[in-house]
Chains A and B, each alone.
Chain A
Amino acid sequence: MHGVHGRYLHIDLDTGSVAEHPIPEEVSIRVIGGVGLASLLLYRWAPPGVDPLAPENPLIFATSPFIGTGITTASKVAVVTKSPQTGMIGDSLSSSYLAIALKRTGFDALVITGKATGWSLLVVDDGRVEVRPAMDLLGRTPDETAESVRAALGSGFRVAAIGEAGERGVRYAAISNDGRLAGRTGGGAVMGSKRLKAIAVRGSGLPTVADPAGLARAARDLAARSLGPGTAKYRELGTAANLAFFNRIGVLPTRNFQQGEFAGAEAISGETLFLEHRTDKHACAACTIGCEHHYRTRDGGSERTVRLEYESLFALGSLCGVDDPNAVLRAAALCDDLGMDAITAGATVAWAMECAERGVDLGYPADEIPRFGDADSLLRTIEAIGRRQGIGDLLAEGSRRAAERTGQGSEAWAMHVKGLEMPGYDPRKLPTLALGLAVATRGACHNRSSAYDIDFSDRLDPDAEAQARAEAAAAAEDQAAVLDSLTICKFLRHCFDDLYAEAAELYTLVTGVPATGDDLRVAGERINNLKKLFNIREGWTRADDRLPDRVLTGEAGLTHERLTHLIDAYYRVRGWDADGRIPEAHLTRLGLTDLL
């Protein structure tokens, strides 16, 4: 089989031992790579019931057959672990050069277990592994860390690093590389719990591809299509373009999801940012789209340029009632510097702001309590979270745990699913997305189903019944699983006429393994069932597939009863029982039984 190395590396930080393990061809085919491969390795390596912050919880980095082949947008690494936010599977992806360097090491994945005796830098240089002391890197931002490590190690290394948030165990700490982040579900906290400040990888060996000439033609064709209308929004204005439109149709989460419209939206809209703050745009390694728009503060203070996406914009803007674009940019930069997920950071601050609004005693001095619309308090609180100082120590736990500790009814406005804070789409008017958020294995996530695509289109009638929405949500999840396992960017999804068939053709050109579109579709279903199976093993029950009560009040028709119907239909579509469990025969049909 071409396109993969057929082996992964296990590094035990407790003992310093390193071991190679084979990945049989049949296994590679069934889970593809990326998130699929890493999910399987998580299932195998994580002891059932393991504490996410215990040394035994594996931190897994996985590549895919497409990385390094010239297929546009495919330079992404999957980062998978048991999430310290949800206690369930935590899967994230991060783009750019790290993925290529990791694949060049000669392994399809790294599985890291154990805990180093002191703060460390893990170096994987082709097949050689070394754990070096890294005390001198503590307190540095991820970018500063990468710069220091690369300067020390020499050319060709790419670095994944955590910031102070990861060092201090902020549960939603991220892992950063090349200015990108594996942002959601707290992989940075797991890395920090292992006393790993950074991982540097370098290598010289990419696997061969089966049909280089055919692949080059197909890759050129896809690259050309990546510059078409399916990506125009991302290239021209970036995801920040969502904000004004979402506000107009009432789905812009505002003041901790109390409203769907924000009076200050115009000031922080993508259009305003483009005209008044945008500096330039960048592309990840091997990407032709170039969606990464950068913006500069213009408030008279020290200038700061920062990458900003819609999700950071809503979470640090409307969700906190902040309409000062400079403050939002500075808050996003702080999250990057400290190394933490801006969605959860903003959402947890918004929870605290609502506590203050409702007079809940958080147990901290008044001058530490953030307030809706108060940009200074937003910035101060984010900094406190990253350093776990004062109220930041409570908020570093995320909204679910902070609410559980605080009580006084504050659980009612902790806006999360399974412990992962909600993204920037008010589900009250978006029923397919609502279902996708409720059932997603990693918690409230818009990226593991993209079910909003259905709601923002004319493909389903607004009154469509549960069955049609359940089919659409499950199909969107399976497609996302295939993209995340081939490690193709989701921004490319509208560039295919028939995603599965065309991706299968690319897969065959790379690997030499005959594959059909249906093979890939089934692989997507298999991977989603694998992730669900992990969650079931870790204690998932149907009660975890839920949405916060706040969005189920009947506004725009979304009620507990309707969501229950949608979830019932989704389980039927999935072939699961009424409790959402997977029948043994279904696992066998999907070829999962003998994989585990």
Chain B
Amino acid sequence: MHQAATTVHVELFGVPRLLAGRKTIAVAGETLGALSRALLDACPALAERVIDPRTGWLTEGYMFVVNDRFSRDPTFPVAPGSSVLLVSSVAGG
């Protein structure tokens, strides 16, 4: 039986937070790819600089952190209750 995708509160950091004007966005999805597309729908301000509107996936400068695991894999599964962060993929400084 198909289960409805879980809602995840994606926490935004850096430029995504400034563009969105908020710290979290609640979206539904069972993979990072689905979350990325849902984020774009929920917050068009992320288009181009953070999420490529043609693919619905993150631009090169960003990545997700799911329960302390860093990932740029759109098939990465997101379990119910996961902590998901959207951050710059460039570390340090």
B90 to A234, Cβ gap below 8 A?
Answer: yes
B68 to A233, Cβ gap below 8 A?
Answer: no
How many residue-residue contacts, CB under 8 A, span A and B?
Answer: 87
B15 to A237, Cβ gap below 8 A?
Answer: yes
Binary flags per residue of A455-466, CB closer than 8 Å to B gives 1, else 0: 111100010000
By the criterion of a CB under 8 Å from any partner CB, how many residues of chain A are at the interface? 38
- Name the segment of A191-199, A239-247, A254-262, A582-590 touching the other chain: A239-247
| With A458-B70, A458-B73: A270-B14 Cβ-Cβ less than 8 Å | yes
| With A229-B60, A248-B11, A458-B73: A452-B91 Cβ-Cβ less than 8 Å | yes
B72 interface residue (CB < 8 Å to A): yes
B81 interface residue (CB < 8 Å to A): no
A245 to B85, Cβ gap below 8 A?
Answer: yes
Bound form: Cα–Cα A491–B90 in Å: 9
Interfacial residues of chain A within 442-473, with CB under 8 A of chain B in the complex: 446, 450, 452-453, 455-458, 462
Bound form: Cα–Cα A249–B18 in Å: 19
User: Taking the nearest CB of chain A, how far is it from the CB of B21, in angstroms?
Assistant: 10
| Chain B residues with CB under 8 A of A249 | 65, 68, 85
B54 interface residue (CB < 8 Å to A): no
* Interface CB pairs A-B, < 8 A, 22: A230-B60, A230-B61, A232-B15, A232-B88, A232-B90, A233-B14, A233-B15, A233-B93, A237-B14, A242-B93, A244-B17, A245-B14, A248-B11, A248-B13, A249-B68, A270-B14, A309-B93, A453-B91, A453-B92, A456-B92, A458-B69, A462-B68
Q: A229-B61, A248-B85, A311-B93 are in contact. List 18 more A-B contacts (CB 8 A).
A: A229-B89, A232-B88, A233-B15, A241-B15, A241-B88, A242-B93, A244-B13, A245-B13, A245-B88, A248-B11, A249-B85, A271-B13, A274-B18, A309-B93, A310-B93, A458-B70, A491-B93, A494-B90
Q: Which residues of A contact B (CB under 8 A)?
A: 228-234, 236-239, 241-242, 244-245, 248-249, 270-271, 274-275, 291, 309-311, 425, 429, 446, 450, 452-453, 455-458, 462, 491, 494
Bound form: Cα–Cα A275–B15 in Å: 11
B91 to A458, Cβ gap below 8 A?
Answer: no
User: Taking the nearest CB of chain A, how far is it from the CB of B66, in angstroms?
Assistant: 10
| Chain B residues with CB under 8 A of A228 | 60
B14 to A271, Cβ gap below 8 A?
Answer: yes
